[in-house]
Amino acid sequence: MATPTQQPDITRIPERWRLGKDFVPKGRYIDPEFLALEYEQLFPRTWQMACREQQLGAVGSVVEYTIGDQSIAVVRTQEDEVKAFHNACRHRGVRLVRGDSRIREFHCPFHGWRYALDGTCTFQHLENEFEPRDADYRNLRPVRCERWGGFVFINLDPDAVPLLEALDPLPEALAPFRLEDMRLLWHKQTILPANWKSAIDAFIEGYHTPGTHPQYMRLAESNTPSARPAELPLYKYAPYTPSIRYEGHSRFVFGVREDGEREQIRSSAPGADLVANQVQYQVQELRALNTQRDGRAAAALRERTFERGERPDVVFQQLRRELAEAEGVEWPEMTREQLQAGIGDWHVFPTLVILVEVGCMLGYRSRPNGNDPDSCIFDVYSFEHFPPDGAPTVQTEWIPDWRSHLGWGQVLTQDFRNMSEVTAGLHSHGFDGHWLNVEQEMAVHNAHHIADRYLFEA
């Protein structure tokens, strides 16, 4: 097997799963056969983010990454080397590691075989009683493992194209943001009652902002704006978030239409307070996309007197940078063009979404949960550029039921509330599939389009 480079063979796609120009049939989300096909053709051949490199801090640190019934052990073998193996003893298949741990070697609990961190079998009890096999058969079976931006990716396909090639255009577009130097502020993992793709879809378009997060239209009010449903006149402040489609990924950026059809919220509000309100709202309710330090820069912005022609958003960028540098943070340098080319919400097909800001980033990862098409394992990550030695030690917070956790903040709670309702609607006999906005929701369509190359390879 290898990464498909051609368009799918449309004739192989059953009618009930065939994409329209602006339509995604619901069977692609709810049919167990579709999930089975994804497990067979998509997940064994795509690069998936297994963990953050910082989660493999010391030599011998191991993270178990699972996708469906496959378990992969990702291990730091040397200070600057990370490897991955199928997490199965070569003798009778026992899983060697569970969850995150730190080991000196792999030690099978069944008959006691041992493997060095690099997968070499070092102890086979009573080896002379076995028919001989060559070393490759005795050693742990390797899995492709490559790194980018501080993320560790795995690919079960030995013939897959290299990670950096598969990620194009992200590595070049995001190089100035130095994602590899960011560290976790927090990481939570939960189960959401939705197809793994529905959970991704919720975070790769901004068209839902006025419907789901109306408070973002009311930032002129205060830094704790009302979240009551938006009245119709408020919709004119909705951001414009066109999908940008690439061969293997998608992106959107918050912006304003140039045709003047929508108004910028800022035209109706005092600039400095509006900027400060947005920053402080995000610091309080998301703990991501803006840092605590940004919150202090926002407070300073309110106190400042402005010269004629000075723009509050530009001044804020200076203030946050000054505060960061005063703390010893190496602030990412970039031109305006580089900023425009990298900032925004990227769908790193298939399982990862990153919202990239200067100095921080919010990440989401979604995987199917076993064989239930209506359930997914969902991770949320908040990253920042910290001063040297300033990053906290972060443990993954496991939340078995997302509703039982009060710490998501308003924005994520609003997004998660939609999940079970989307799932219910997909099962409705009166609903056929997603009818997409052809400007702002095409990232959803693009993900299916990319998937078809794997699922229905020509």
Element (H, E) at 147: strand 142-148
For the chain, the maximum distance between any two Cα atoms, rounded to a whole number of angstroms, is 87
Residue in 398, 385, 383 with CA at minimum distance from that of residue 353: 383
Q: Where do runs of H (alpha helix) occur along 115-158?
A: 135-138
In the complex, least distance from residue 163 CB atom to ligand FES, rounded to whole angstroms: 31
How far apart are CB 320 and Fe ion at their closest, in Å?
24
Rg (CA), the chain: 24
Min CB(102)–ligand FES separation in Å: 20
Pick the closer one to ligand FES by CB: 124 or 241.
124
89 binds ligand FES (CB under 6 A): yes
Site for ligand FES in 96-125 (CB under 6 A): 108, 110-113
| Cβ atoms of residues 63 and 48 within 8 Å | no
Position among 2, 20, 23, 92 found at the interface with ligand FES (CB under 6 A): 92
Rounded to a whole number of angstroms, the minimum distance from the CB of residue 410 to Fe ion is: 11
C-beta of 106 vs 151, nearer to ligand FES: 106
Whichever of 139 and 317 has its CB closer to ligand FES, that residue is 139
Pick the closest to residue 222 from 260, 154, 273 (CA basis): 273
Chain positions 104 to 123 lying near Fe ion, rule: CB under 5 A, are none
Residue 87 identity: N
User: Least separation, in Å, of the C-beta of 108 and ligand FES?
Assistant: 3
DSSP-assigned beta bridge partners for residue 64: 73
Task: Give the other-Cβ count within 10 Å of 128's Cβ.
Answer: 6
Quickly tell me which residue has 């509006």 as its tokens: 274
Binds Fe ion (CB under 5 A): choice among 415, 434, 444, 451: 415
Question: Residues 281-300: x/- map of binding to Fe ion (CB under 5 A)?
Answer: --------------------
The span from the CA of 134 to the CA of 140, in Å, is: 12
The tokens describing 184, both together, are 């976790």
- Chosen from Fe ion, ligand FES, none, partner binding at 38 (C-beta under 5 to 8 Å by type): none
- Residues 393 and 391: their CA atoms lie apart, in Å, by 7
Mark the segment that binds ligand FES (CB under 6 A) among 86-94, 202-210, 316-324, 355-363. Answer: 86-94
Nearest residue (CB) to ligand FES, 64 versus 452:
64
Residue type (1 letter), 28: R
Could you tell me the smallest distance in angstroms from the CB atom of residue 40 to ligand FES? 26
Report the relative pairing of strands 183-192 and 397-399 from DSSP bridges. Answer: parallel
Q: How many Å apart are CA 306 and CA 322, to the nearest integer?
A: 17
Interface with ligand FES, residue 141, by CB under 6 A: no
Q: Which range touches Fe ion (CB under 5 A), out of 45-53, 173-181, 348-356, 413-421?
A: 413-421
Residue 137 contacts ligand FES per CB under 6 A: no
CB of 109 to ligand FES, least distance (A): 8
Of the pair 14, 112, the CB lying nearest ligand FES is at 112
Continuous H helices in 113-214: 135-138, 163-167, 170-174, 196-201, 209-212
Binding region for ligand FES (CB under 6 A) out of 90-98, 275-283, 340-348, 361-369: 90-98
CA 59/CA 73 separation, integer angstroms? 14
The item of Fe ion, ligand FES, none sharing an interface with residue 415, based on CB under 5 to 8 Å by kind, is: Fe ion
State yes or no: residue 94 binds ligand FES (CB under 6 A): yes
Output the CA torsion sign for 116, 117, 119, 125.
Answer: positive
From 128-136, 182-190, 323-331, 410-418, give the range in contact with Fe ion by CB under 5 A. 410-418
Binding marks (x or -) toward ligand FES, 188..217, rule CB under 6 A? ------------------------------
Q: Binding to ligand FES by residue 91, rule CB under 6 A?
A: yes
Residue that the structure tokens 């692609």 belong to: 28
> Which two structure tokens, joined as six digits, stand for 95?
């899983």
Quick check: 403 binds ligand FES (CB under 6 A)?
Answer: no
List CB contacts of 404: < 8 A, sequence separation 6 or more: none
> By the 8 A CB rule, do 106 and 87 touch?
no
What residues line the site for Fe ion (CB under 5 A)?
A: 415
Binding interface with ligand FES (CB under 6 A): 89, 91-92, 94, 108, 110-113
